[in-house]
Structure 1
């Protein structure tokens, strides 16, 4: 069994600041679970272009307020506490922080823990 505390990740290579967001990579590829889990804070007043071409992601908001704009149809989805959204079609989107928003993110395939979005909003297929 593995037990991970957020404070154990703080300040390590798995504590990643992406500018518009800050992420704690709690479970990563090396843990061998077949998925990864992050706690991510989306900063208020930000907008991030994201297009996970290499990953599927499910996101559960536990605090705050954000919006997801799917670029295929320009639909705006309000995301608040107790709301989950799943990018099940590699959906290209904009993530807007209306308030600081705390999210639990699950990725398949799992992240290595050091990823940052490239200029197209993509995480690389594999850093390890």
Structure 2
């Protein structure tokens, strides 16, 4: 039996972390949540993460900076960005770097999960 993919959620807003984690778990995935990009980068679960959902605007390291830090380390993890401030310039930067998705908060559950399933194409999925 294949391992259920782990989805990491990084957002400085606890209510967003809890709601997004609950949504993703309802589709049969495992989740792990982090309040900051730095916490995720330091986590022992980071190497087992199949997909990352991250806020763009966070206090010390933005989601875009997290994405760039992962790429600099050679980590080709699919990343879905979520943001309350969907600026076209930031969206373009994320998409050009290879983001798996860019969603404005509040996002639709079906849209989020569509991004997750698309990001995980070719990997074993739950159920």
Which structure carries more helix by proportion?
Answer: 2
> Which structure is higher in RCO with an 8 Å CA cutoff and minimum separation 6?
1
Query: Which structure is higher in strand share?
Result: 1
